[in-house]
Amino acid sequence: MPTPASDDAFAEVKAKVDLVKVVQEYVRLTKRNKDFWGLCPFHQEDSPSFHVNPQRQSWYCFGCERKGDVFTFVELIEKTDKRGALQLLAERAGVELKKLSPEQKERTDLRRRLLTLLKLAAQYYEYVLWSNPAGEPGRRLLESRRVGEETAKRFQLGYAPAGRGFAEYLRAKKRSLADAQEAGLMRRDGTDFFAERLVIPIRDERGQPLAFTARTVRADEQRKYINSPETPAYVKGRVIFGLDLARDEIARRGHAVLMEGQFDVITAHGAGITNSVASSGTALTDDQVRLLKRFTDELLLVFDADRAGRQAAQKAVLLAAAHQMRTRVATVADAKDPDEFLRAAGAEAAKRWEELVAKAPSGFEFGMEDAAAGLNLSNPNHVELAAKRLREWITQFPPALQEDYRERAKRWMGVSGHLLAAEPDERRATGRPIAPRAGKNGLESPSGGKKMTVGRYLLQLLAVRPVAFDRVRTKITPDELDEEDRGIYVRMLETYERGGASGLEKELAGYPAEEQDLVRRAWAAPPPNVDEEVAVELADRIRLDHMRGRHSGIIRELSEAERGQDSERVARLEAEARELGRAIADMERRG
Ligand SMILES: [Zn+2]
């Protein structure tokens, strides 16, 4: 059982870290007078309203009104808790946290040792590649792949020679061989895990090596590539390969190029496409998308041209959409992957690349074209089949996008709308948690048979489109809602503040049953207009209704007070009623 950290630990860490430097790892800040400004990482915006005060070591966003100190910032941006933020910042500041449990401390120490060792290994391999005769096979492989020395050095490529060279190196440096095994660098017999391979460090977004991918230089070797195992320093699916090198260019160009393989990325950087990264070692994961979203809202997906590559691209499109990221998909023609495409283009690579990017359809269109590929749309049977596939494609997107996508699909295919209207059973097949029985659409069976009120409508809308909270929460307070809507409203708002737009899916299981039911029904059958403007309108109507209710309450009270001849109370209530009446009239005029 870990004991909570003392206030001392927070104070000590706070004194040692600089909020501006911490924020700058996530947000581009511009200095104005003594303060810093940037685009808020916690809400969507085009002009900077995120403000950092270096003197007070505090931050405030004028857009979403979030604020706090360095701990709250790290908590929000790393999606961790106060304790996690303390740990991250303590590590950064070199502050030893005294009250870690023995297991936690051991794990933290081990991780730190492994990270140092991984850095050392990368340096050793790089040294062998360029400065040791044993590195010759690695240099030949790079030459055959047309990877120039400058690019290779940027990625810190290296070569692991045969035998026990690395073990001897560690012994000379008086390092623990057991740690090297733990880090996945060495086998139990002391031989190098990556022997006779070109090694590619997999580094985090700050450039720290966490693991390696290694390609054999031997023609007779069956396993072309091998990867580091998961270790206390490396969790697969949490790292984006190349992000440390690409992050500035991603910010500059406004999008990241996401590829599949490490060599795709290396070749791309060599050809000047320096905003390229890869989902290293796995299919794209939720964590990786979240990491990328810290740097951009748009991904250009360039996957292999084969069927597996196209399927991977579709999955990535959906995953990105779930995180409100835009995608485009570029397909390399006459080549199996971007690496081959760019190498074949030679000196023309940059030009061919621009042509490819210019042609890239949006992720949604890409999936649409794929759904209709090979079908003849003048044949009615084929049209029906294509419509079915399109329906399946569309229903996998977040509900807020589906209506627009159905419209676009209709126009694109030239079919009538009913062919593309989702059927309840298909909705259920999308993998989203969905209530067993839902009405045909949001209007007929809005929320478990209860009559559709403005409050219910708003709750459904917020369930489908939680970002609308950003607008709504400044418009109404929970006590303006009907009593039966208040609990779920507050719960969803708290979830949103904690977990953002995707928080609801994660926390829903902990909601009371009838609230879960309302949310699931809304997901299954979204209300007709899922739009932030509509949410604001609804909030205004709720506010107005609440004010009218209060007004008639005061009038009732007033007649009571008059009967009781309580003149002081009468005067007070009259004033209240007048003021409220004016406010209502104002709202009605605007409304
Ligand atoms: Zn903000």
Q: Distance from the CA of 39 to the center of ligand 1, in angstroms?
A: 8
CA 326 – ligand 1 centroid, Å: 20
From ligand 1's centre to the CA of 362, what distance in Å? 28
Expressed in angstroms and rounded, the spacing between residue 470 Cα and the centre of ligand 1 is: 9
In the reported structure, the alpha carbon of residue 456 is separated from the centroid of ligand 1 by a whole-number distance in angstroms of 27
Residues of the chain with pLDDT under 50: 1-4, 424-450
Per-residue model confidence as pLDDT tens digits over 80-90: 778 888 888 98
* Residue among 242, 236, 237, 232 nearest 204 (CA): 242
CB-count burial class (<10 Å; 0-12, 13-18, 19+) for 573: buried
CA distances (Å), 408 to each of 99, 165, 364, 390, in order? 57, 60, 10, 11
| Positive or negative: CA dihedral 421, 300, 24, 241 | positive
C-alpha of residue 208 to centroid of ligand 1, in Å: 30
Q: What angle do CA 260, 256, 283 make, to 5 degrees?
A: 30
- 42 CA → ligand 1 middle, Å: 5
- List pLDDT tens digits, range 122-131: 999 999 999 9
Please give the pLDDT value at position 421.
67
The CA–CA distances, whole Å, from 11 to 6, 97, 305, 586 equal: 9, 12, 54, 49
Determine the pLDDT at residue 117: 94
pLDDT at 191: 86
Question: Cβ distance 460 to 447 under 8 Å?
Answer: yes
Residue 294 alpha carbon to ligand 1 centre in Å = 14
pLDDT (0 to 100) of residue 8: 76
Instruction: Report pLDDT for 586.
Output: 82
pLDDT score recorded for residue 429: 41
Give the pairing type, strands 256-259 and 276-279.
parallel
Query: How much is the pTM?
Result: 0.61
Beta-sheet strand order (sheet of 35-38): 30-32, 35-38, 50-53, 58-61, 67-68
Interval between CA 364 and ligand 1 midpoint (Å): 28
Each residue of 411-449: pLDDT tens digit?
A: 887 765 566 665 544 444 443 333 333 333 333 333 334
* Ligand 1 centre distance from Cα of residue 67 (Å): 9
How many whole angstroms separate alpha carbon 466 and alpha carbon 460?
Answer: 10
26 CA → ligand 1 middle, Å = 14
pLDDT of residue 5: 52
Summarised one tens digit per residue, pLDDT across range 250-271 is 888 889 999 989 999 999 999 9
Distance 514 CA to ligand 1 centre (A): 32
- pLDDT the model gives residue 451: 53
569-591: per-residue pLDDT in tens? 888 888 888 888 888 888 877 75
522 C-alpha to center of ligand 1: Å?
27
